[in-house]
Amino acid sequence: MSKIKVDPVKCIGCGLCVSIAEEVFRMNDQGKSEAIPEEERVSPCAVCGCCDGIGEKIKEAVESCPVKAITGE
C-alpha cells in the first residue's frame, strides 16, 4: 500500500491514524491528517510496509478512520 491519501474534506482531525501509524501520517496546519510524502518518511520501508510491519499499521489506520477519509492502494 504505497499510495495513501487522506481526503481533507472528510477528515475530522481526530488524529487516530497518526496515533496508529505516525511513520506515515501527520497532522497539518489546518488540524487535519495527511499522509507523509514517501520521500519525507523516516523509514524507507514505510513505502510498502512489507518488511517492518508498517503495512499492517496502515491497514489498521484505514479501517479505523471514523469517517473513512483514508484510502490506499
User: C-alpha cell of 36?
Assistant: 507523509
Query: Region 20-28: what's the mean pLDDT?
Result: 94
For the cut 60, the answer to whether the pLDDT of residue 45 exceeds it is: no
Contact 46, 57 (CB under 8 A): no
Q: What's the fold here for domain 4-72?
A: Alpha-Beta Plaits (3.30.70)
The position carrying cell 518488511 is 51
Task: Report which of residues 22 and 45 the model is more confident about.
Answer: 22
Q: Domain boundaries in the chain?
A: 4-72
For the cut 70, the answer to whether the pLDDT of residue 47 exceeds it is: no
Residue 66's pLDDT band (cuts 50, 70, 90)? very high
The torsion angles phi and psi of 24, rounded to 5 degrees, stand at -120, -25
Can you give the pTM of this predicted structure? Answer: 0.82
Sequence-distant (6+) residues with CB within 8 A of 65 are 16, 17
